[in-house]
Amino acid sequence: MDSTHATALHVVSVFAVDGRGGNEATIAVDAERLSTGEMQRITRDAGHECGFVVAAPAGAAIDATLRFFVPAHEMEMCGHATIGALWVLHRLGRLPPRDRVVISTLSGLVTGRIGQRGTPAVRIAISQPTGTISRVPEPYAPQIAAVLGIAPGDLATVPIVNAATSRAKTLVPLTSADAVHRLQPDFARIEALCDALGSTGLYPYAPVDLEHQIFEARQFPKASGYPEDPATGIAASALAFGLLEHGLVRPGEAISIYQGRAMGRLSRIQVAFQQTAATVSGCWVTGDVAG
């Protein structure tokens, strides 16, 4: 018997704005019965990211294991699918009775923080480690501009960097949100460029309101099986550390990153730094879920 027929699938939209938009994810609970091939097939059929919840063995120090797939391959970590999976488990009454849970992923352990639990307004936040930043050599800038379709004068003076909390994203600073929306990427060239950069996606961004730490961004993944992402928690957390490196944000205040506007799926990702005294030790990523 094909075990996919016996597995309940829950479709949620994570980082939604006023109940709309966001990034869809299909969540499969009790996925230990599925083979890797079945997980990949479910994801290809869905056409977007899927998260598969595998129960932890009795007595384990974790609460569950999560596996993540895009239509083209398995991923180490997916922010919105993790938030979506914890939201589904909360809705099903399957989370332990505490405010924090520990999830095992191929990228490492992730802490989930459950706020307002037991209510329709439950708020899920997930942890990401401190970001790493490396400057992209300047000779790549013209190639990045050509591949993204950046108009002359739209590239900002802030350095282009690779930033990562779970996997590297190339952060491309633009002068305005309008410049972000005007981009017309050459999708056929993105994978080769990302390979050259050591990146898993291009993440152009621009400030909207620096006082309130609001930014606009788009995500063009290297090779996920689709050309653009309406919301990317891992890229947003990487961006937060890039902005901190450039002195564009204050660590004690939350950052809001809007994505997906150009796709008609407006999303809002919120990032808050974890701090011990004056030291930033990671971040929390959160957003609204609709489902």
Phi first, then psi: give them for residue 265, nearest 5 degrees.
-135, 65
**pLDDT (tens digit, 9 = 90+) per residue, 131-146?**
999 999 999 999 999 9
**Whether 236 contacts 285, CB under 8 Å:** yes
In this predicted structure, the answer to whether residue 286 has a pLDDT above a threshold of 80 is yes
Please give the pLDDT value at position 155. 97
Looking at residue 185, its amino acid is P
Structure confidence at residue 6 (pLDDT): 61
What was the pLDDT predicted at 58? 85
> What is the 3-class SS of 8-60, one letter each residue?
CEEEEEEEEECCECCEEEEEECCHHHCCHHHHHHHHHHHCCCEEEEEECCCCC
pLDDT at 14 over 60: yes
Q: Please report which helix (H) or strand (E) contains residue 178, including its range.
A: helix 177-182
Q: What is the pLDDT of residues 190-240, one digit of tens each?
A: 999 999 999 999 999 999 999 999 999 999 999 888 999 999 999 999 999
Q: Which residues pair with 272 in a beta bridge?
A: 284
Residue 7 is predicted with a pLDDT of 77
Indicate if 132-276 has the same CATH topology as 3-127.
yes
The answer on pLDDT for 5 being more than 70 is: no
Overall average pLDDT of the 147-173 stretch: 97
pLDDT at 117: 86
Residue 2 has pLDDT above 60, yes or no: no
User: CA-CA distance, 125 to 116, in Å (whole number)?
Assistant: 11
Give the pLDDT score at 118.
82
Find the length of the chain.
291
The predicted-structure confidence for 119-133, as pLDDT tens digits, reads as follows 888 999 999 999 999
Say yes or no to pLDDT of 4 above 70. Answer: no
How would residue 1 be classed by pLDDT, with cut points 50, 70 and 90? very low
Give yes or no for residue 48 having a pLDDT over 90: yes
CATH class of 132-276: alpha beta
Condensed to tens digits (0 to 9), the pLDDT of residues 162-175 reads 999 999 999 999 99
In the chain, domain spans: 3-127, 132-276
Decide if domain 3-127 falls under CATH 3.10.310.10: yes
What is the per-residue pLDDT across 60-94, written as a single tens digit (0 to 9) for each?
999 999 999 999 999 999 999 999 999 999 999 99
Query: For the segment 96-122, what is each residue's pLDDT rounded down to a tens digit?
Result: 999 999 999 999 999 999 999 888 889
Is the model's pLDDT at 241 over the cut of 70?
A: yes
